[in-house]
Structure 1
Amino acid sequence: MDGVRSALITDAFSAQQGVEDDDMNIMCLGGNITAPALAWKLVQLFLNARFKNEERFIRRLNKVTAIENGNVQI
């Protein structure tokens, strides 16, 4: 689905870095393996993180958008 950037999150680093570097807008948690306290911490980190909006990260997102739009030759 275009515009969806998601990842399986298992630790604090990934919850925050996924948003900051990749503009992740959906996080996935393992229901049987993520303790409620950890899940709450990860959700808080995810919601409080902000995309860094740096050139290298924007360039990466533009590549993903090009793939979504079918503008990539392989």
Structure 2
Amino acid sequence: MKIIMASDHAGVALKLEIKALLLEMGHEVEDMGPYDTTAVDLSDFVYPAAIKVSQENVRGIFVDGVGYGSALIANRIYGIDAVVCQDPFCAKLARQHTDSNVLCLGGKIIGSAIALDIVNTWMTTDFLAEEKYIRRVEKVKAISEKHLVKLS
């Protein structure tokens, strides 16, 4: 599976560890930067990465200081369902119940061991295609259809 990655300066170190795990798992990874810890604006990297996730219908993993900034930016793009997870249980439910396609993590608030466990869980958990979850996901998609502009 192809994974688009992005971060800000606070997430570079953790992003590199996650990238190594994803490659080890056999995934294709496109790192859209940044590539060092020089201070940057998160939106300069997460915004184009989120667009790419939406256009290519792939998954994304974004890392910033706490994860919420990435999720706020990404969820403004049509076709993105970004979640912030701080433990593997939440990662499992985020895939099973919401069919999320972007995982956002906080490089300043979780250590690499738990972050790698979260990523592994999120990447290996499938959507529960049961009637109630399908109905709920479709309702969220209807909101996107009503309020977000489709990418051309």
The match for 2:112 among 36, 40, 49 is 36
Q: Which runs of 5+ in 1 are unaligned?
A: none
Higher strand share: 2
**Counterpart in 1 of 2:130?**
54
Partners of 1:20 and 1:3 lie apart in 2 by 18
Q: Which runs of 5+ in 2 are unaligned?
A: 1-76, 148-152
Q: Specify which structure has the bigger relative contact order, considering alpha-carbon pairs within 8 angstroms and separated by 6 or more residues.
A: 1
**Alpha-carbon distance, 1:45 to partner:** 0.3
Task: Map 1:63-74 to 2 at 5 A.
Answer: 63-70=139-146
1:12-50 deviation line (CA, Å, top 9, x unaligned): 110111000110111111110110111111100000000
Q: Normalised by the size of structure 2, how large is the TM-score?
A: 0.45
Number of residues of Structure 1 aligned to a counterpart in Structure 2: 71
Q: CA RMSD in A?
A: 1.2
Partners of 1:29 and 1:5 lie apart in 2 by 14
**Alpha-carbon distance, 1:61 to partner:** 1.1
Secondary structure class of the residue paired with 1:29:
strand
Q: Normalised by the size of structure 1, how large is the TM-score?
A: 0.89
